[in-house]
């Protein structure tokens, strides 16, 4: 995982670099979106954009666990 962010609008999560093509998208319109960028040779996806119940809390949780894994 390289970056985690929350987008307030679902359409902003869909904007990105054309031609990347390795995205997993599961969105509900008009809901905030958790966006996770991945960079690992074993990951089938480069980016995941998900509607989750608590995107801010989920982003914080991922950041905390990623920090532990790097130690």
33-37, strands of its sheet edge to edge: 3-7, 33-37, 47-50, 23-26
Cβ pair 49, 61 in contact under 8 A: no
Provide the domain limits for residue 46: 3-70
Among candidate residues 4, 2, 29, 3, the one with its CA nearest the CA of residue 14: 29
- Is the pLDDT reported for residue 14 higher than 70? yes
Whole-model pTM: value is 0.83
* Predicted pLDDT of residue 18: 60
How many distinct structural domains can be found in the chain?
1
Distance CA 53, CA 61 (A): 13
- Is the pLDDT reported for residue 33 higher than 80? yes
């Amino acid at each position: 995982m390289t970056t985690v962010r929350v987008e307030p609008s679902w359409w902003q999560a869909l904007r990105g670099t054309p031609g990347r093509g390795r995205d997993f998208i599961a969105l509900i319109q008009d809901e905030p979106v958790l966006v996770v960028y991945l960079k690992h040779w074993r990951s089938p996806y480069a980016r995941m954009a998900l509607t989750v119940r608590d995107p801010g809390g989920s982003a914080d949780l991922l950041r905390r666990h990623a920090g532990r894994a790097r130690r």
